[in-house]
Chains A and B, each alone.
Chain A
Amino acid sequence: MSRKASGLKAWAIQRLTAIYIGLFALYLVAVLLFAAPVDFVAWKEWIGGPLVSVMLLLFIVSVLMHAWIGVRDILIDYVHPIAIRASLLGLVAMALVGMGLWAAQALILVRMA
C-alpha cells in the first residue's frame, strides 16, 4: 500500500469489506438455518459450487483485508516505537497470509474431493 493510499483507501476498503462481510454472514446464517446441507456430500456440493466458491473466496479476502486494516489502526493508535510497531505489523501480516493460504487450500481440497 503506497503512502498516499494509506488514508482514504484503507478507510474505504474497511467500509466496503464490512458491508460484504455483513451480507455474506447473513447469507451464511440463512443457509444454515433454512437449507442446511444434510450430509458431507450435500455440504461439499454446496460449498464447492462455482457461485458459492467465488463468494466464499471473496469473503475470505474481505475478512483478511478488514482484519489487516483494523489491526493496523490499533497499532498506529497505541504502539508508537517504530521498530516494535513494524515487527508487530510483520507478524500480523504473516499470520493473515498464513490463514489466507490455509483457507485457499481448504477450498481447493473441497473442490477436488
Chain B
Amino acid sequence: MKFLVSRFNPESDTSPYMQEFEVEVVRGMMLRDALLEIKRHDESFAFRHSCGEGVCGSDGVNVNGTNKLACITPISELTEPVEVRPFPGRPIIRDLVVDMTQFYQQYRAVKPWLVRDDPMPEQEILQSPEERDKLDGLYECILCGCCSTACPSFWWNPEKFHGPQALLTAWRFLADSRDQATDERLDALEGPYKLFRCHTIMNCVDVCPKGLNPTKAIGHIKTLMLKNAV
C-alpha cells in the first residue's frame, strides 16, 4: 500500500515535503504499525508513539486530512495513498513530531486540579453517584491534542484561546461537586479570547479518538456563566 509521509529536518530542509513509501499491509494492521515499518526502511523518520493502544495519546497525526491516533486507526479504513502529516497549525520539530508547548500551557491555565477552600477531610471527599456521573465524558481525556489542533480558532489564536481540550478540562472541574472555585474559574474564562473564540465549528467532536464532546462542555460553561450573570 502506498504511503505519503511528511518529512522535515530543521537542519537541512526549508519546508516540509512528502515522501513516498510502499508498505506491505497485513491483516489487523494499525497505522502505527505502518509508521514503524516505514521507520525500519528509513531510520531517520521521526514520530511519537508509546502505548500502542490509544491510552497515552502520543501518536496523534493528521491522516488524509483528519487528526487521528495512529495506534487505533486500522489501515483497512484508510484510502490509498495514505497521506500522513503532522498536526496542523503546530510548529514542526521534525517529520511528524510537533511542538505542543502552547497546548499544554492552555491546559495548565485552566487549573486542572480540585480547588478547596474548606479544610481537607481526613478521608476522601464523598460524592453521590449522580455527582460522579457528571464527570463521565470529561475525565477520559488523554490530552492527545487531536481536538485543539483541528480547531481553526486554536490555529488563529493558540496563545490566547484555550482550545477545546483545555475548555473540556475547565468544565470537568466546574462540574465536579468537590471543587469550590466555580466563580474564580468562570471569571478567569471571561473576555473575548479564552472561551469565546469558540464558534461551535465542532471539528473537536469530529476527531476526538475517545468520543468526547468538547463543544458540549463549552456550551455548559457558557450556560453556567449566563446563569451566574443574570
Q: Is the CB of B156 within 8 A of A78?
A: yes
- Report the nearest A residue to B186, measured CB to CB: A8
Q: Is the CB of B191 within 8 A of A11?
A: no
A8 to B228, CA, bound (A): 11
A76 to B225, CA, bound (A): 22
Q: Return the CB mask of A52-81 against B: 1 if under 8 Å, else 0.
A: 000000000000000000000100111000
B205 in contact (CB, < 8 A) = no
A6 to B193, CA, bound (A): 9
Q: Is the CB of B199 within 8 A of A73?
A: yes
B153 in contact (CB, < 8 A) = yes
Q: Is the CB of B157 within 8 A of A7?
A: no
A12 to B225, CA, bound (A): 10
Which bracket fits the contact residues of B? 10 to 19
Q: Return the CB mask of B195-230 against A: 1 if under 8 Å, else 0.
A: 111010000000000000000000000100110010
- Which one of A6, A8, A10, A73 contacts B229 once the chains associate, using CB atoms below 8 Å? A8
Q: Which residues of A contact B229 (CB under 8 A)?
A: 8
A38 to B193, CA, bound (A): 50
Q: Which residues of B contact A12 (CB under 8 A)?
A: 226
- Which one of A3, A73, A77, A78 contacts B191 once the chains associate, using CB atoms below 8 Å? A3
Q: Which residues of B contact A7 (CB under 8 A)?
A: 189-196
Q: Is the CB of B190 within 8 A of A10?
A: no
- Which one of A3, A6, A8, A76 contacts B226 once the chains associate, using CB atoms below 8 Å? A8
Q: Is the CB of B156 within 8 A of A6?
A: no
Contact A6:B191 (CB < 8 A) given known A11-B222, A77-B153, A78-B156 = yes
Q: Is the CB of A8 within 8 A of B225?
A: yes
Q: How many residues of A contact B (CB 8 A)?
A: 12
A110 to B191, CA, bound (A): 41
- Report the nearest B residue to A77, measured CB to CB: B156
A8 to B193, CA, bound (A): 11
Q: Is the CB of B196 within 8 A of A11?
A: yes
A61-113 interface with B by 8 A CB criterion: 73, 76-78
- Report the nearest B residue to A8, measured CB to CB: B225
Q: Is the CB of A8 within 8 A of B222?
A: yes
B119-151 interface with A by 8 A CB criterion: none
B77-106 interface with A by 8 A CB criterion: none
Q: Which residues of A contact B189 (CB under 8 A)?
A: 7
B34-60 interface with A by 8 A CB criterion: none
A8 to B229, CA, bound (A): 9
* A contact residues vs B (CB 8 Å cutoff): 3-4, 6-8, 10-12, 73, 76-78
Known contacts A4-B191, A7-B195, A8-B225; 9 additional CB pairs below 8 A are: A3-B191, A7-B196, A8-B190, A8-B222, A8-B226, A8-B229, A11-B222, A77-B156, A78-B156
